[in-house]
Amino acid sequence: MADIYKANRNVFALSRRFRRSGNVASPMDFGILVAVTGVGRGWRVIEAGCGSGFLTAFLSNSVGQEGRIVTYEVREEAVRIARSNLALAGAENVELVEGPLSVVEHEHPFDLACLDMRDADAALPGITGALRKGGWVFVYSPFMEQVAAVHRAAGDLPLKNIVTYEPLVREMHVDDRGTRGRTQFLGQARFLTFAQKA
C-alpha cells in the first residue's frame, strides 16, 4: 500500500512510529469521528481505555493547546507504551491516568467521551451524565453483540442521533493489466457507534 502518510508530516505520519499493545484506532476511524462529532479546537474529552494512545494522539492534535484530554488505562504495559507514544507526539494537553475509567474525578461537562473498552454499555449512564448538552459519546466495539448492547443502553438514556458505522477503505491499484481494488484493504472488525446528548 502506498505510504500516503509519509508525504505529510502530521500526527498520522508520526503514528507509524508508535509502539502498539493490542488493537489501535486507525486514521480512517478518526476521520469518521471528526466528521460525525466535529471534535476540534478547545474541546474537552474523556477517554477509556487509552491502550497504546493512538486515538489519544489524534484527539490531542485536534483539540490543540486550548483543549484537554483525560484518558484512563488499566494495563500497566499499555500505560508505558502510551506515555512514550504521547511524548513522541508532543501531546502536552493529555492527562493519562493509570486505572479504571472514573467520571467523578474531573470537572464536568465534557464535549466528547470515547469508550474503547469492554462493557462500554455499562459505562454509558455515568459517561452520559458527564457530557454537555449536544456533546457526543463514541464507542468502539469489536463485536456486533456489543453494538446491540450499546444501542439498548443508549435507548434508556438522554441520547439521540444514535448511529453505528463499519469503516471499510480500499485503495485502488492501477497498472497496465487494469484497475481494481487492492486485495488487501484497510478494514478491521470494528464498529463505531455515536450518540449525542439530548
Ligand X SMILES: C[S@@+](CC[C@H](N)C(=O)[O-])C[C@H]1O[C@@H](n2cnc3c(N)ncnc32)[C@H](O)[C@@H]1O
**What is the Cα 166 distance to its own chain's centre?**
14
- CB of 103 or CB of 131, closer to ligand X: 103
Q: How many CB atoms lie within 10 A of CB 118?
A: 12
In 3-state terms, what secondary structure has residue 54? Answer: helix
54 interacts with ligand X by CB under 6 A: yes
If binding is defined by CB under 6 A, does position 67 make contact with ligand X?
Answer: no
Smallest Cα–Cα separation from 21: which of 97, 99, 92, 75? 75
Site for ligand X in 111-150 (CB under 6 A): 116-118
Is there a contact between 160 and 196 (Cβ–Cβ < 8 Å)? yes
- Residue list 74-103, contact with ligand X (CB under 6 A): 74-75, 78, 100-101
What gap in Å lies between CA 84 and CA 67, rounded to an integer? 21
Region of 31-39, 50-58, 104-112, 145-153 interacting with ligand X (CB under 6 A): 50-58
Tell me the closest approach of the beta carbon of residue 183 to ligand X, in angstroms: 26
Q: How far is the CB of 174 from ligand X (least distance, A)?
A: 31
Residue 111 vs 116, nearer CB to ligand X:
116
Q: Are 76 and 98 in contact (CB under 8 A)?
A: yes
With CB under 6 A as the rule, give the number of residues binding ligand X: 21
Q: Which residue is nearest to ligand X (CB)?
A: 49
Comparison of 129 and 173: residue with beta carbon closer to ligand X: 129
Minimal distance in Å, beta carbon 60 to ligand X?
A: 12
* Binding map of ligand X across residues 19-48, x = CB under 6 A, - = no contact: ---xxxx----------------------x
Question: Per residue, what are the HEC states of 92-161?
Answer: CCEEEEECCCCCCCCCCCEEEEEECCCCHHHHHHHHHHCEEEEEEEEEEECCHHHHHHHHHHHHCCCEEE
Q: Whose Cβ is closer to ligand X: residue 18's or residue 43's? A: 18
The rounded distance, in Å, linking the Cα atoms of 59 and 45 is 8
Residue listed under C-alpha cell 453483540: 145
Report the interface residues with ligand X, using CB under 6 A: 22-25, 48-49, 51-55, 72-75, 78, 100-101, 116-118
